[in-house]
């Protein structure tokens, strides 16, 4: 079993839809959770980050962490064609990168106009 599993996708939705992206993990030491967006031929960019359990909202994006279930989610409201990219979850046990900084395999999202 991989340390971080992510919905494989690819995911294709119409413009304006609500998108749910999910990751599960096995290491209970993870405390710091991140979501990155990666456009084709570009490096990843940090979208959202959360510490421990709870929700965090930033514009159209909401990140949720449920440590009891070892499950994290990213919701995108009113999705736009410009949201078409690969989304990567990431997590670690310390905010200074820690001893085990891992990424999910990514979910490719296409938002159709």
Asked if 29 is part of the footprint of another protein (rule: CB under 8 A), the reply reads no
Tokens 């409201």 belong to 77
Asked if 76 is part of the footprint of another protein (rule: CB under 8 A), the reply reads no
Asked if 77 is part of the footprint of another protein (rule: CB under 8 A), the reply reads no
Asked if 92 is part of the footprint of another protein (rule: CB under 8 A), the reply reads yes
Geometric angle at alpha carbon 70, from 65 and 76, rounded to 5°: 40
Q: Which CB sits closer to another protein, 79 or 87?
A: 87
Q: Which of 29, 57, 97, 112 binds another protein (CB under 8 A)?
A: 97
Question: CA–CA separation, 84 vs 108, rounded Å?
Answer: 8
Report residue 69: phi and psi, to 5°: -100, -5
End-to-end Cα distance, the chain: 37
Rg (CA), the chain: 13
Number of residues that bind another protein (CB under 8 A): 23
For another protein, the binding residues (CB under 8 A) are 32, 34, 41-46, 49, 88, 90, 92, 95-99, 101-106
């Amino acid at each position: 079993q991989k340390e971080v599993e992510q919905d494989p996708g690819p995911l294709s939705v119409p413009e304006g839809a609500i998108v749910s992206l999910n990751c599960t993990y096995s290491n209970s030491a993870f405390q710091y959770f991140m979501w990155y967006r990666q456009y084709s031929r570009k490096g990843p960019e940090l979208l959202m980050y959360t510490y421990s359990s709870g929700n965090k909202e930033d514009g159209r994006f909401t990140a949720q962490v449920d440590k009891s279930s070892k499950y994290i989610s990213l919701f995108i409201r009113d999705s736009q064609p410009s949201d078409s990219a690969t989304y990567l979850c990431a997590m670690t046990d310390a905010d200074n990168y820690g001893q085990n900084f891992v990424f999910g395999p990514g979910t490719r999202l296409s938002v159709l106009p």
